Copies of this chain bind each other. A is one copy, B any other.
Amino acid sequence: MNLRIPGPTPCPDYVLDAMNRDMINHRGPEFQDMLHRCTDRLKEVFKTESDVLILTGSGTGAMEAAVVNVLSPGDQVLCVSIGVFGDRLAQIAEAFGASVTKLTATWGTPADPEAIRSALAENPDIKAVLVTHNETSTGVTNDMAAISSVVKGAGKLLVVDAISSLSSLPFYTDEWGCDVVMSGSQKGYMVPPGLAFISVSDEAWKAFEEAKMPRFYWDFGRAKSYLNRGQTPWTPAVSVFYGLDAALERMLDEGMDAIFERHARIAQKTRDGVKELGLSLFADESCASNTVTAVNVPEGVQLGALMRQLQADHDVVLAGGQGALDGKIMRVGHLGYITDEDITQVLSALSTVLPQVGFQPVTSPARGA
């Protein structure tokens, strides 16, 4: 299967092979070694000297962990949303009692750092800014350098959902002063879902000491104290750890800069190819994500029929739209274990199937891929 959704991503054979191993004692020396090795390597991926904690759960679990560990009920927070996942972060903050001011950009566009500056100036009691780095639902990447400059310039806590970007797109946790950053195994790491990663800056630890939202499973303090003795507080997803251990070694061998360049090149190839087919991109190229490309479903084409035929005839699986974009866009994931050939295959399949499901290009004829 050419699985081209924005996570879970395909896994290389060396990841699947690493996972084909029986269980070990998660409170024994072998796990201790693996936990420390993975944690140290994740710090290199996060580009941080701060703590990185590995949690067993989905990315949304890490989002909940980020909220409940640094905030108290009633705390004022600014939630910067540019899509489904930005909305989700705001929903979590609200569910746990934060007082949320929401700054929403039109879907398909990035957050405006100046709008964040104004919102912070108008609401001086805001304690933290919660923002998505790469919005999977719209295929848009925010300018984190600019946003962090505004947020940290204002002395606020900066909480970043980098679940679908970190390890694929340039991200500099310490340089940008990000206090809490979330990521997940099923994205650029090329590992099955089940583990989430979260960095905690010194400032975030200070916030943790005062934070009063109820927490237990996601508690940073418990995770850190167990990490100090080479364990996780609760039984970890051991097999996913095996995969992560193998993947991180290969990733650092390839080098983060090389990984970033590969993602940028393949994303450009995707966008160029999609346009050559006569399709239009949902997001402007100036902010288009290099991990996922959102493509407008052309008039006259039923997305369900298109996706079913892509899978049935070509074994190509794309993602549809989420929320308000359901049926209106399709998304091509190109993160993690991705090659030029994978995208060539997607474009070729699209060029064959599109006319079969009623597509008539308006702008330029499909030239194939």
Could you tell me which A residues sit within 8 Å of B by CB distance?
Answer: 1, 3, 5, 7-11, 16-17, 19-28, 56-61, 63-64, 91-92, 95-97, 184, 186, 192-194, 213-217, 233-240, 243, 311, 317, 319-320
Q: Are the CB atoms of A234 and B59 closer together than 8 Å? A: yes
Report 29 cross-chain contacts, Cβ distance below 8 Å, ordered by A residue.
Answer: A1-B24, A3-B22, A3-B25, A7-B235, A9-B23, A10-B22, A11-B23, A23-B186, A25-B319, A26-B193, A56-B56, A56-B57, A56-B58, A57-B61, A59-B235, A60-B217, A61-B217, A63-B217, A91-B216, A92-B216, A96-B216, A97-B214, A184-B235, A193-B235, A193-B238, A194-B237, A194-B239, A194-B240, A240-B240
Inter-chain CA distance A91–B217, complex, in Å, is 11
Inter-chain CA distance A239–B15, complex, in Å, is 12
Inter-chain CA distance A115–B193, complex, in Å, is 44
Chain B residues lying within 8 Å of A236, measured Cβ to Cβ, are 58, 193
- Neighbour of A235 across the interface among B186, B234, B317, B320, CB < 8 A: B186
Q: Are the CB atoms of B239 and A19 closer together than 8 Å? A: yes
Q: In chain B, what residue has the closest Cβ to A58?
A: B234
Q: Are the CB atoms of B216 and A214 closer together than 8 Å? A: no
Inter-chain CA distance A184–B237, complex, in Å, is 11
- Neighbour of A64 across the interface among B25, B96, B217, B235, CB < 8 A: B217
Chain B residues lying within 8 Å of A8, measured Cβ to Cβ, are 23-24, 26, 235, 238
Top 7 A-B residue pairs of the complex, sorted by shortest distance between their CB atoms? A194-B237, A58-B234, A192-B239, A8-B23, A60-B234, A193-B235, A96-B214
Nearest Cβ on chain B to A290's Cβ, whole angstroms:
20
Q: Are the CB atoms of B25 and A95 closer together than 8 Å? A: no
